[in-house]
Chain A
Amino acid sequence: MTFTLPPGLALQKVDERIMTLNVGPQHPGSGHMRIIVQIDGDYIVACDPDPGYVHRGEEKMAEYRNYITNIPHLERPVIHDSCNVLYPYVLGAEELLGIEVPERAKYVRVIASELNRCIYIMYWLAIYGIFLGHSTMFMWPAGDRELLIDLMEKMTGARVTHAHFVPGGVRNDLPPNFEDVCLRQVNYFEKRIKEYAAVFYDNPILISRTQDTGVLSREDAIRYGTTGSVLRASGVDYDLRVKEPYDVYDELDVHTNVMKEGDSYARSRIPWLDMIESCNIIRQALQKMPKSGSVRVKLKPNPKTKGLESVYKRVESGRGSLGCYIVSDAKTEPYRVKLSVPSFRNLIALPNLLRGEKLGNMPSVYWSLNYWPVEADR
Protein backbone atom coordinates (compact mmCIF):
# COMPACT_ATOMS: atom_id res chain seq x y z
CA MET A 1 0.00 0.00 0.00
CA THR A 2 1.55 3.25 -1.05
CA PHE A 3 -0.33 5.83 0.84
CA THR A 4 0.47 7.56 4.10
CA LEU A 5 -2.09 7.94 6.78
CA PRO A 6 -2.97 11.43 7.96
CA PRO A 7 -1.45 12.33 11.31
CA GLY A 8 -3.34 11.00 14.28
CA LEU A 9 -4.69 7.87 12.56
CA ALA A 10 -3.27 4.37 12.80
CA LEU A 11 -4.06 1.11 11.09
CA GLN A 12 -5.58 -1.54 13.32
CA LYS A 13 -6.62 -5.08 12.65
CA VAL A 14 -10.34 -5.74 12.92
CA ASP A 15 -9.93 -8.68 15.28
CA GLU A 16 -8.25 -6.52 17.85
CA ARG A 17 -11.07 -4.03 17.79
CA ILE A 18 -13.91 -6.39 18.52
CA MET A 19 -14.95 -6.57 22.15
CA THR A 20 -17.25 -9.15 23.65
CA LEU A 21 -19.80 -7.85 26.10
CA ASN A 22 -22.26 -9.66 28.30
CA VAL A 23 -25.60 -7.98 28.46
CA GLY A 24 -26.27 -10.25 31.32
CA PRO A 25 -29.06 -11.50 33.46
CA GLN A 26 -28.53 -8.59 35.80
CA HIS A 27 -28.95 -5.62 33.54
CA PRO A 28 -31.54 -2.88 33.29
CA GLY A 29 -31.93 -3.63 29.61
CA SER A 30 -31.95 -7.36 29.29
CA GLY A 31 -34.79 -9.04 31.11
CA HIS A 32 -34.26 -12.59 32.36
CA MET A 33 -31.70 -13.65 29.78
CA ARG A 34 -28.19 -12.98 28.59
CA ILE A 35 -27.22 -11.61 25.21
CA ILE A 36 -23.56 -11.90 24.26
CA VAL A 37 -22.74 -9.14 21.80
CA GLN A 38 -19.53 -8.53 19.95
CA ILE A 39 -19.08 -4.89 19.19
CA ASP A 40 -16.73 -2.90 17.05
CA GLY A 41 -16.78 0.56 18.57
CA ASP A 42 -20.46 1.39 18.66
CA TYR A 43 -21.81 -1.14 16.19
CA ILE A 44 -22.84 -4.70 16.92
CA VAL A 45 -21.02 -7.21 14.77
CA ALA A 46 -22.48 -10.45 16.08
CA CYS A 47 -24.96 -11.43 18.72
CA ASP A 48 -25.57 -14.70 20.51
CA PRO A 49 -28.66 -14.98 22.67
CA ASP A 50 -28.28 -17.13 25.77
CA PRO A 51 -31.71 -18.01 27.18
CA GLY A 52 -32.35 -20.68 29.76
CA TYR A 53 -32.01 -18.78 33.02
CA VAL A 54 -35.61 -19.58 33.87
CA HIS A 55 -35.76 -23.05 32.40
CA ARG A 56 -37.84 -24.89 34.94
CA GLY A 57 -38.57 -28.09 33.11
CA GLU A 58 -42.30 -27.60 32.55
CA GLU A 59 -42.52 -30.24 29.88
CA LYS A 60 -40.86 -32.91 31.98
CA MET A 61 -43.04 -32.10 34.96
CA ALA A 62 -46.15 -32.35 32.83
CA GLU A 63 -45.49 -36.04 32.29
CA TYR A 64 -45.79 -36.75 36.01
CA ARG A 65 -49.06 -35.00 36.70
CA ASN A 66 -52.51 -35.79 35.38
CA TYR A 67 -54.53 -33.62 33.05
CA ILE A 68 -56.11 -31.54 35.78
CA THR A 69 -53.14 -31.12 38.10
CA ASN A 70 -51.04 -29.97 35.16
CA ILE A 71 -52.93 -26.71 35.08
CA PRO A 72 -51.21 -24.71 37.87
CA HIS A 73 -47.69 -25.19 36.62
CA LEU A 74 -48.42 -24.98 32.92
CA GLU A 75 -49.86 -21.51 33.34
CA ARG A 76 -46.77 -20.04 34.95
CA PRO A 77 -44.67 -19.33 31.87
CA VAL A 78 -46.54 -16.06 31.52
CA ILE A 79 -48.31 -15.44 34.77
CA HIS A 80 -50.26 -12.37 33.75
CA ASP A 81 -51.39 -13.90 30.44
CA SER A 82 -52.07 -17.25 32.06
CA CYS A 83 -55.42 -17.87 30.42
CA ASN A 84 -53.88 -17.72 26.95
CA VAL A 85 -51.02 -20.04 27.90
CA LEU A 86 -53.47 -22.62 29.19
CA TYR A 87 -55.92 -22.21 26.31
CA PRO A 88 -54.35 -24.58 23.74
CA TYR A 89 -53.60 -27.16 26.42
CA VAL A 90 -57.21 -27.10 27.56
CA LEU A 91 -58.55 -27.27 24.02
CA GLY A 92 -56.25 -30.22 23.30
CA ALA A 93 -57.17 -32.03 26.50
CA GLU A 94 -60.85 -31.58 25.71
CA GLU A 95 -60.40 -33.15 22.33
CA LEU A 96 -58.48 -36.07 23.79
CA LEU A 97 -60.96 -36.63 26.60
CA GLY A 98 -63.89 -36.21 24.24
CA ILE A 99 -65.71 -33.37 26.02
CA GLU A 100 -68.04 -30.80 24.52
CA VAL A 101 -67.97 -27.43 26.25
CA PRO A 102 -71.18 -25.45 26.94
CA GLU A 103 -71.80 -22.23 25.02
CA ARG A 104 -71.61 -19.85 27.96
CA ALA A 105 -68.24 -21.28 28.95
CA LYS A 106 -66.88 -20.46 25.52
CA TYR A 107 -67.93 -16.84 25.84
CA VAL A 108 -66.44 -16.56 29.31
CA ARG A 109 -63.22 -18.00 27.95
CA VAL A 110 -63.12 -15.47 25.13
CA ILE A 111 -63.67 -12.58 27.54
CA ALA A 112 -60.97 -13.85 29.90
CA SER A 113 -58.58 -14.38 27.01
CA GLU A 114 -59.04 -10.85 25.69
CA LEU A 115 -58.67 -9.27 29.12
CA ASN A 116 -55.47 -11.21 29.64
CA ARG A 117 -54.17 -10.08 26.29
CA CYS A 118 -54.64 -6.44 27.30
CA ILE A 119 -53.05 -7.03 30.70
CA TYR A 120 -50.01 -8.62 29.11
CA ILE A 121 -49.58 -5.93 26.47
CA MET A 122 -49.78 -3.18 29.10
CA TYR A 123 -47.01 -4.77 31.15
CA TRP A 124 -44.96 -5.23 28.01
CA LEU A 125 -45.36 -1.52 27.20
CA ALA A 126 -44.37 -0.68 30.78
CA ILE A 127 -41.14 -2.64 30.54
CA TYR A 128 -40.48 -1.10 27.14
CA GLY A 129 -40.62 2.23 28.93
CA ILE A 130 -38.02 1.08 31.44
CA PHE A 131 -35.73 -0.09 28.66
CA LEU A 132 -35.99 3.19 26.84
CA GLY A 133 -35.62 5.20 30.03
CA HIS A 134 -39.10 6.72 29.71
CA SER A 135 -40.56 6.58 33.20
CA THR A 136 -44.00 7.82 32.24
CA MET A 137 -44.21 4.92 29.82
CA PHE A 138 -43.72 2.67 32.80
CA MET A 139 -46.11 4.40 35.18
CA TRP A 140 -49.12 4.94 32.93
CA PRO A 141 -49.52 1.40 31.59
CA ALA A 142 -48.62 -0.18 34.95
CA GLY A 143 -51.28 1.89 36.61
CA ASP A 144 -53.98 1.49 33.99
CA ARG A 145 -53.66 -2.25 33.81
CA GLU A 146 -54.79 -2.45 37.42
CA LEU A 147 -58.30 -1.65 36.19
CA LEU A 148 -58.35 -4.85 34.18
CA ILE A 149 -56.65 -6.85 36.90
CA ASP A 150 -59.54 -5.86 39.15
CA LEU A 151 -61.92 -7.37 36.62
CA MET A 152 -59.93 -10.59 36.49
CA GLU A 153 -59.88 -10.69 40.26
CA LYS A 154 -63.66 -10.42 40.35
CA MET A 155 -63.94 -13.19 37.80
CA THR A 156 -61.41 -15.65 39.08
CA GLY A 157 -60.28 -14.64 42.55
CA ALA A 158 -56.61 -14.06 41.73
CA ARG A 159 -54.74 -11.11 40.30
CA VAL A 160 -52.46 -13.21 38.14
CA THR A 161 -52.10 -16.99 37.61
CA HIS A 162 -55.84 -17.37 37.42
CA ALA A 163 -56.01 -21.15 36.75
CA HIS A 164 -59.49 -20.45 35.50
CA PHE A 165 -59.59 -22.68 32.43
CA VAL A 166 -60.06 -26.40 32.99
CA PRO A 167 -60.79 -29.16 30.51
CA GLY A 168 -64.57 -28.94 30.47
CA GLY A 169 -65.05 -25.18 30.58
CA VAL A 170 -64.17 -22.62 33.20
CA ARG A 171 -63.97 -23.12 36.92
CA ASN A 172 -66.70 -20.77 38.09
CA ASP A 173 -69.44 -18.71 36.58
CA LEU A 174 -69.18 -14.94 36.36
CA PRO A 175 -70.21 -13.10 39.51
CA PRO A 176 -73.59 -11.33 39.44
CA ASN A 177 -73.59 -7.89 37.83
CA PHE A 178 -70.27 -8.59 36.17
CA GLU A 179 -71.46 -7.58 32.72
CA ASP A 180 -72.22 -3.97 33.69
CA VAL A 181 -69.03 -3.50 35.65
CA CYS A 182 -66.97 -5.01 32.87
CA LEU A 183 -68.58 -2.84 30.22
CA ARG A 184 -67.97 0.33 32.21
CA GLN A 185 -64.34 -0.56 32.94
CA VAL A 186 -63.61 -1.54 29.37
CA ASN A 187 -65.11 1.67 27.99
CA TYR A 188 -63.04 3.76 30.37
CA PHE A 189 -59.96 1.70 29.56
CA GLU A 190 -60.42 2.24 25.86
CA LYS A 191 -60.76 5.99 26.27
CA ARG A 192 -57.64 5.99 28.42
CA ILE A 193 -55.43 4.05 26.03
CA LYS A 194 -56.43 6.25 23.15
CA GLU A 195 -54.69 9.05 25.06
CA TYR A 196 -51.47 7.11 24.77
CA ALA A 197 -51.10 8.20 21.17
CA ALA A 198 -50.39 11.78 22.15
CA VAL A 199 -47.88 10.99 24.88
CA PHE A 200 -46.07 7.98 23.49
CA TYR A 201 -46.62 7.27 19.85
CA ASP A 202 -46.45 10.84 18.58
CA ASN A 203 -43.58 11.63 20.89
CA PRO A 204 -40.60 12.71 18.75
CA ILE A 205 -38.12 11.08 21.11
CA LEU A 206 -39.78 7.70 20.89
CA ILE A 207 -40.09 8.05 17.15
CA SER A 208 -36.42 8.90 16.72
CA ARG A 209 -35.35 6.02 18.94
CA THR A 210 -37.45 3.37 17.34
CA GLN A 211 -38.15 4.34 13.78
CA ASP A 212 -35.99 2.60 11.16
CA THR A 213 -34.20 0.45 13.71
CA GLY A 214 -34.29 -3.29 13.45
CA VAL A 215 -36.14 -3.42 10.16
CA LEU A 216 -37.56 -6.87 9.46
CA SER A 217 -38.63 -7.34 5.88
CA ARG A 218 -41.71 -9.33 4.92
CA GLU A 219 -39.80 -12.22 3.37
CA ASP A 220 -37.55 -12.51 6.38
CA ALA A 221 -40.45 -12.44 8.79
CA ILE A 222 -42.01 -15.37 6.99
CA ARG A 223 -38.77 -17.25 6.62
CA TYR A 224 -37.84 -16.94 10.29
CA GLY A 225 -41.23 -18.23 11.30
CA THR A 226 -42.03 -15.22 13.47
CA THR A 227 -45.50 -14.78 14.80
CA GLY A 228 -47.89 -12.36 16.40
CA SER A 229 -47.29 -8.64 16.45
CA VAL A 230 -43.81 -9.02 14.93
CA LEU A 231 -45.32 -10.67 11.87
CA ARG A 232 -48.15 -8.20 11.53
CA ALA A 233 -45.78 -5.26 11.80
CA SER A 234 -43.94 -6.55 8.74
CA GLY A 235 -46.98 -6.70 6.54
CA VAL A 236 -48.28 -10.25 6.84
CA ASP A 237 -51.97 -10.43 7.61
CA TYR A 238 -52.17 -13.48 9.88
CA ASP A 239 -54.15 -13.71 13.08
CA LEU A 240 -55.30 -17.06 14.38
CA ARG A 241 -58.55 -15.64 15.68
CA VAL A 242 -59.49 -14.96 12.06
CA LYS A 243 -57.72 -17.75 10.19
CA GLU A 244 -58.43 -20.69 12.48
CA PRO A 245 -61.17 -19.56 14.87
CA TYR A 246 -61.52 -21.56 18.05
CA ASP A 247 -64.34 -21.39 20.60
CA VAL A 248 -66.71 -18.63 19.49
CA TYR A 249 -64.37 -16.41 17.50
CA ASP A 250 -66.16 -17.37 14.31
CA GLU A 251 -69.24 -15.53 15.59
CA LEU A 252 -67.35 -12.38 16.53
CA ASP A 253 -66.03 -9.69 14.27
CA VAL A 254 -62.24 -9.46 14.58
CA HIS A 255 -60.21 -6.96 12.60
CA THR A 256 -56.48 -7.56 12.08
CA ASN A 257 -54.09 -4.62 12.34
CA VAL A 258 -51.22 -4.70 9.86
CA MET A 259 -48.39 -2.26 9.28
CA LYS A 260 -45.85 -2.41 6.53
CA GLU A 261 -42.66 -0.84 7.82
CA GLY A 262 -41.38 -3.66 10.00
CA ASP A 263 -39.26 -1.45 12.22
CA SER A 264 -39.34 -1.19 16.00
CA TYR A 265 -41.87 1.62 15.86
CA ALA A 266 -44.36 -0.52 13.98
CA ARG A 267 -43.74 -3.43 16.34
CA SER A 268 -44.45 -1.20 19.30
CA ARG A 269 -47.59 0.25 17.77
CA ILE A 270 -49.33 -2.94 16.66
CA PRO A 271 -49.97 -4.26 20.23
CA TRP A 272 -51.55 -0.93 21.13
CA LEU A 273 -53.91 -1.22 18.17
CA ASP A 274 -54.59 -4.82 19.18
CA MET A 275 -55.69 -3.65 22.61
CA ILE A 276 -58.26 -1.31 21.12
CA GLU A 277 -59.49 -4.23 19.03
CA SER A 278 -59.74 -6.39 22.14
CA CYS A 279 -62.07 -3.86 23.74
CA ASN A 280 -64.39 -4.21 20.76
CA ILE A 281 -64.30 -7.98 21.02
CA ILE A 282 -65.14 -7.89 24.73
CA ARG A 283 -68.11 -5.65 24.07
CA GLN A 284 -69.41 -7.95 21.36
CA ALA A 285 -68.93 -11.02 23.51
CA LEU A 286 -70.74 -9.46 26.46
CA GLN A 287 -73.65 -8.68 24.19
CA LYS A 288 -73.89 -12.08 22.55
CA MET A 289 -73.26 -14.21 25.61
CA PRO A 290 -76.16 -16.49 26.64
CA LYS A 291 -77.60 -15.06 29.81
CA SER A 292 -77.56 -18.27 31.78
CA GLY A 293 -76.29 -21.78 31.51
CA SER A 294 -73.69 -24.02 32.94
CA VAL A 295 -70.06 -23.18 32.48
CA ARG A 296 -68.42 -26.45 33.31
CA VAL A 297 -68.66 -30.09 32.42
CA LYS A 298 -67.58 -31.78 35.61
CA LEU A 299 -65.16 -34.60 35.09
CA LYS A 300 -64.31 -37.58 37.22
CA PRO A 301 -61.34 -36.94 39.52
CA ASN A 302 -58.66 -38.65 37.42
CA PRO A 303 -59.75 -38.38 33.81
CA LYS A 304 -58.21 -40.87 31.43
CA THR A 305 -57.91 -40.43 27.70
CA LYS A 306 -59.40 -43.01 25.47
CA GLY A 307 -56.85 -43.83 22.84
CA LEU A 308 -53.31 -43.40 21.66
CA GLU A 309 -53.52 -40.10 19.86
CA SER A 310 -51.76 -36.85 19.45
CA VAL A 311 -53.32 -33.43 19.06
CA TYR A 312 -51.93 -30.01 18.16
CA LYS A 313 -53.97 -26.95 19.01
CA ARG A 314 -53.01 -23.33 18.65
CA VAL A 315 -54.31 -20.06 20.00
CA GLU A 316 -53.50 -16.38 19.48
CA SER A 317 -52.00 -15.12 22.70
CA GLY A 318 -50.66 -11.67 23.56
CA ARG A 319 -47.38 -12.46 21.88
CA GLY A 320 -48.44 -14.58 18.95
CA SER A 321 -49.60 -18.04 18.12
CA LEU A 322 -49.09 -20.47 20.98
CA GLY A 323 -49.37 -24.13 20.19
CA CYS A 324 -49.62 -27.18 22.39
CA TYR A 325 -48.79 -30.66 21.13
CA ILE A 326 -50.07 -33.40 23.43
CA VAL A 327 -49.32 -37.07 22.91
CA SER A 328 -51.43 -39.34 25.02
CA ASP A 329 -51.18 -43.05 25.67
CA ALA A 330 -54.53 -43.87 27.25
CA LYS A 331 -53.42 -43.09 30.77
CA THR A 332 -54.23 -40.37 33.27
CA GLU A 333 -50.98 -38.55 32.61
CA PRO A 334 -50.05 -37.24 29.18
CA TYR A 335 -47.15 -38.97 27.49
CA ARG A 336 -45.64 -35.77 26.16
CA VAL A 337 -46.68 -32.14 26.33
CA LYS A 338 -44.86 -29.67 24.14
CA LEU A 339 -45.61 -25.98 24.28
CA SER A 340 -44.61 -24.15 21.14
CA VAL A 341 -44.29 -20.66 22.51
CA PRO A 342 -44.23 -17.50 20.38
CA SER A 343 -41.32 -15.95 22.26
CA PHE A 344 -39.05 -18.84 21.38
CA ARG A 345 -40.13 -18.64 17.77
CA ASN A 346 -39.38 -14.93 17.58
CA LEU A 347 -35.94 -15.36 19.14
CA ILE A 348 -34.38 -16.36 15.83
CA ALA A 349 -34.94 -12.83 14.58
CA LEU A 350 -32.76 -11.31 17.30
CA PRO A 351 -29.26 -12.22 16.06
CA ASN A 352 -30.26 -11.31 12.54
CA LEU A 353 -31.74 -7.94 13.40
CA LEU A 354 -29.01 -6.79 15.72
CA ARG A 355 -26.23 -7.27 13.23
CA GLY A 356 -25.15 -3.79 12.20
CA GLU A 357 -27.21 -1.94 14.77
CA LYS A 358 -25.76 0.52 17.22
CA LEU A 359 -25.35 -0.75 20.73
CA GLY A 360 -27.64 1.93 22.08
CA ASN A 361 -30.47 0.63 19.92
CA MET A 362 -30.24 -2.83 21.36
CA PRO A 363 -32.93 -2.54 24.06
CA SER A 364 -35.44 -0.96 21.74
CA VAL A 365 -35.00 -3.66 19.10
CA TYR A 366 -34.78 -6.55 21.54
CA TRP A 367 -37.90 -5.84 23.55
CA SER A 368 -39.93 -4.80 20.53
CA LEU A 369 -39.80 -8.43 19.40
CA ASN A 370 -42.51 -9.04 22.01
CA TYR A 371 -40.21 -11.40 23.82
CA TRP A 372 -41.07 -12.67 27.29
CA PRO A 373 -38.01 -14.58 28.53
CA VAL A 374 -39.78 -16.72 31.12
CA GLU A 375 -42.06 -18.12 28.45
CA ALA A 376 -39.27 -18.83 25.98
CA ASP A 377 -37.46 -20.93 28.56
CA ARG A 378 -40.58 -22.68 29.83
Chain B
Amino acid sequence: MLKDLVTPENANVFVGKLGDILEKAIDKPLGYAINWGRIWSLWPVHIETACCSVEFGAASSPRYDVERFGIIEAFGSLRQCDLVVVQGTITRKMAPRLRLVYDQMPEPKYVIAMGACAITGGLYFDSYNVLPGIDGVIPVDVYVPGCPPRPETLIQGCMLLQEKIKRMKARKFV
Protein backbone atom coordinates (compact mmCIF):
# COMPACT_ATOMS: atom_id res chain seq x y z
CA MET B 1 0.00 0.00 0.00
CA LEU B 2 2.92 2.32 0.65
CA LYS B 3 4.11 1.87 -2.89
CA ASP B 4 0.80 3.09 -4.35
CA LEU B 5 0.83 6.08 -2.09
CA VAL B 6 4.23 7.33 -3.16
CA THR B 7 3.71 8.21 -6.80
CA PRO B 8 5.76 10.75 -8.81
CA GLU B 9 2.92 13.24 -8.48
CA ASN B 10 2.79 13.30 -4.75
CA ALA B 11 6.36 12.48 -3.93
CA ASN B 12 6.37 15.32 -1.48
CA VAL B 13 3.31 13.78 0.10
CA PHE B 14 4.69 13.37 3.55
CA VAL B 15 5.33 17.05 3.79
CA GLY B 16 2.31 18.83 2.43
CA LYS B 17 -0.38 16.47 1.31
CA LEU B 18 -1.24 14.58 4.44
CA GLY B 19 -4.85 15.27 3.74
CA ASP B 20 -4.54 13.34 0.51
CA ILE B 21 -3.24 10.25 2.29
CA LEU B 22 -6.01 10.38 4.80
CA GLU B 23 -8.50 10.73 2.06
CA LYS B 24 -7.16 7.79 0.09
CA ALA B 25 -6.78 5.60 3.16
CA ILE B 26 -9.92 6.43 5.01
CA ASP B 27 -12.34 7.87 2.51
CA LYS B 28 -13.17 4.68 0.72
CA PRO B 29 -13.90 2.56 3.79
CA LEU B 30 -15.59 5.48 5.52
CA GLY B 31 -17.74 6.11 2.48
CA TYR B 32 -18.58 2.44 2.35
CA ALA B 33 -19.60 2.51 6.00
CA ILE B 34 -21.74 5.60 5.58
CA ASN B 35 -23.44 4.20 2.53
CA TRP B 36 -24.01 0.92 4.33
CA GLY B 37 -25.82 2.81 7.07
CA ARG B 38 -27.91 4.69 4.54
CA ILE B 39 -28.91 1.63 2.58
CA TRP B 40 -30.30 -0.34 5.44
CA SER B 41 -32.38 2.47 6.92
CA LEU B 42 -34.26 4.19 4.15
CA TRP B 43 -37.21 5.79 5.85
CA PRO B 44 -40.01 6.79 3.49
CA VAL B 45 -42.13 9.87 3.99
CA HIS B 46 -45.72 9.13 4.91
CA ILE B 47 -47.36 10.59 1.83
CA GLU B 48 -49.93 8.67 -0.14
CA THR B 49 -50.68 10.14 -3.47
CA ALA B 50 -53.09 7.79 -5.20
CA CYS B 51 -54.10 4.19 -5.64
CA CYS B 52 -50.66 2.59 -5.58
CA SER B 53 -50.63 3.32 -1.87
CA VAL B 54 -52.61 0.11 -1.39
CA GLU B 55 -49.75 -1.98 -2.72
CA PHE B 56 -47.27 0.05 -0.74
CA GLY B 57 -49.30 -0.76 2.35
CA ALA B 58 -49.37 -4.40 1.32
CA ALA B 59 -45.60 -4.35 0.99
CA SER B 60 -45.36 -3.50 4.68
CA SER B 61 -47.73 -6.33 5.55
CA PRO B 62 -46.40 -9.52 7.19
CA ARG B 63 -46.26 -11.48 3.95
CA TYR B 64 -43.97 -9.21 1.93
CA ASP B 65 -42.43 -7.39 4.87
CA VAL B 66 -40.34 -4.60 3.46
CA GLU B 67 -39.39 -3.70 7.02
CA ARG B 68 -36.63 -6.30 7.01
CA PHE B 69 -34.80 -4.02 4.57
CA GLY B 70 -35.06 -1.14 6.98
CA ILE B 71 -37.88 0.63 5.18
CA ILE B 72 -40.17 1.44 8.06
CA GLU B 73 -43.20 3.45 7.12
CA ALA B 74 -45.39 5.79 9.10
CA PHE B 75 -43.12 8.38 10.58
CA GLY B 76 -44.57 11.55 11.93
CA SER B 77 -42.22 14.13 10.55
CA LEU B 78 -40.67 14.27 7.13
CA ARG B 79 -37.61 16.02 8.47
CA GLN B 80 -36.15 12.71 9.53
CA CYS B 81 -36.96 10.74 6.38
CA ASP B 82 -34.83 10.28 3.35
CA LEU B 83 -36.98 8.52 0.77
CA VAL B 84 -40.05 9.72 -1.10
CA VAL B 85 -42.03 6.99 -2.76
CA VAL B 86 -44.37 8.72 -5.17
CA GLN B 87 -47.23 6.25 -5.22
CA GLY B 88 -49.35 6.74 -8.25
CA THR B 89 -50.93 9.63 -10.07
CA ILE B 90 -49.86 13.17 -9.29
CA THR B 91 -52.57 15.68 -10.05
CA ARG B 92 -52.12 19.38 -10.65
CA LYS B 93 -53.43 20.06 -7.20
CA MET B 94 -50.95 17.74 -5.56
CA ALA B 95 -47.83 18.75 -7.52
CA PRO B 96 -46.89 21.91 -5.56
CA ARG B 97 -47.36 20.03 -2.31
CA LEU B 98 -45.12 17.24 -3.51
CA ARG B 99 -42.44 19.77 -4.36
CA LEU B 100 -42.81 21.33 -0.90
CA VAL B 101 -42.43 17.92 0.73
CA TYR B 102 -39.32 17.18 -1.32
CA ASP B 103 -37.77 20.55 -0.50
CA GLN B 104 -38.35 20.12 3.20
CA MET B 105 -36.48 16.86 3.44
CA PRO B 106 -32.83 17.04 4.46
CA GLU B 107 -30.03 15.75 2.25
CA PRO B 108 -29.39 13.00 1.18
CA LYS B 109 -32.76 12.17 -0.28
CA TYR B 110 -33.93 9.75 -2.90
CA VAL B 111 -37.08 9.39 -4.97
CA ILE B 112 -38.76 6.26 -6.22
CA ALA B 113 -41.47 6.73 -8.84
CA MET B 114 -43.91 3.90 -8.26
CA GLY B 115 -46.51 2.96 -10.77
CA ALA B 116 -47.12 3.83 -14.40
CA CYS B 117 -48.90 7.05 -13.50
CA ALA B 118 -45.86 8.48 -11.75
CA ILE B 119 -43.57 7.56 -14.64
CA THR B 120 -45.49 8.92 -17.62
CA GLY B 121 -49.05 9.57 -16.58
CA GLY B 122 -50.08 5.96 -17.17
CA LEU B 123 -53.72 5.21 -17.79
CA TYR B 124 -54.67 8.82 -17.17
CA PHE B 125 -52.31 10.38 -19.67
CA ASP B 126 -55.01 12.42 -21.35
CA SER B 127 -56.88 13.64 -18.31
CA TYR B 128 -57.14 17.34 -17.64
CA ASN B 129 -55.86 17.22 -14.11
CA VAL B 130 -52.99 14.75 -14.27
CA LEU B 131 -49.30 15.44 -14.71
CA PRO B 132 -47.63 13.25 -17.33
CA GLY B 133 -45.02 11.87 -14.99
CA ILE B 134 -43.24 13.53 -12.10
CA ASP B 135 -39.90 14.13 -13.84
CA GLY B 136 -40.69 17.78 -14.22
CA VAL B 137 -41.32 18.26 -10.52
CA ILE B 138 -38.71 16.26 -8.63
CA PRO B 139 -35.63 14.32 -9.77
CA VAL B 140 -36.28 10.60 -9.78
CA ASP B 141 -33.76 7.88 -8.91
CA VAL B 142 -35.62 4.64 -9.59
CA TYR B 143 -38.68 3.94 -11.71
CA VAL B 144 -40.84 0.99 -10.71
CA PRO B 145 -43.32 0.10 -13.47
CA GLY B 146 -46.65 -1.60 -12.97
CA CYS B 147 -50.26 -0.68 -12.54
CA PRO B 148 -50.04 -1.19 -9.61
CA PRO B 149 -46.66 -2.87 -9.17
CA ARG B 150 -46.76 -5.99 -7.08
CA PRO B 151 -45.13 -5.65 -3.67
CA GLU B 152 -42.27 -7.85 -4.87
CA THR B 153 -41.62 -5.41 -7.70
CA LEU B 154 -41.51 -2.55 -5.24
CA ILE B 155 -39.00 -4.44 -3.11
CA GLN B 156 -36.91 -5.04 -6.21
CA GLY B 157 -37.07 -1.32 -6.90
CA CYS B 158 -35.82 -0.61 -3.38
CA MET B 159 -32.94 -3.02 -3.91
CA LEU B 160 -32.03 -1.25 -7.14
CA LEU B 161 -31.98 1.98 -5.18
CA GLN B 162 -29.66 0.31 -2.68
CA GLU B 163 -27.30 -0.65 -5.52
CA LYS B 164 -27.36 2.93 -6.75
CA ILE B 165 -26.59 4.33 -3.31
CA LYS B 166 -23.64 1.99 -2.92
CA ARG B 167 -22.06 3.56 -5.97
CA MET B 168 -22.72 7.13 -4.85
CA LYS B 169 -20.17 9.42 -3.19
CA ALA B 170 -20.93 9.34 0.49
CA ARG B 171 -19.90 12.80 1.57
CA LYS B 172 -20.33 15.93 -0.46
CA PHE B 173 -18.16 18.22 1.68
CA VAL B 174 -14.73 17.29 2.94
Q: Which residues of A contact B (CB under 8 A)?
A: 24-28, 31-32, 52-57, 60-61, 64, 72-73, 76-80, 123, 126-127, 130, 138-139, 142-143, 145-146, 149, 159-161, 374
Contact = CB atoms under 8 A, between A and B. Distances in A.
B50 interface: yes
Nearest to B101: A26
Nearest to A131: B74
Nearest to A24: B97
Interface of B: 45-51, 53-55, 57-58, 60-63, 74-76, 78, 88-89, 91, 93-94, 97, 101, 123-124, 126-130, 147-148, 150
A55 B126 CA distance: 13
8 cross-chain pairs, A with B, having the tightest CB-CB distances, nearest first: A142-B61, A143-B62, A57-B127, A26-B47, A79-B51, A53-B94, A28-B46, A146-B63
Q: Is the interface of B mostly helix, strand, loop or mixed?
A: loop
B93 A52 contact: yes
Nearest to B67: A139
A374 B89 CA distance: 10
Contacts of A64: 126
B45 A139 contact: no
Given A54-B91, A57-B127, A161 B47 contact: no
A24 B62 CA distance: 28
A76 B51 contact: yes
B51 A57 contact: no
A94 to B, nearest CB: 24
A32 B58 CA distance: 17
13 contacts: A28-B74, A28-B76, A32-B50, A54-B88, A57-B127, A60-B128, A64-B126, A72-B123, A76-B123, A123-B54, A159-B55, A159-B150, A374-B51
A31 B58 CA distance: 16
B50 A54 contact: yes
A264 B55 CA distance: 27
A42 B46 CA distance: 24
A146 B57 CA distance: 12
B63 A143 contact: yes
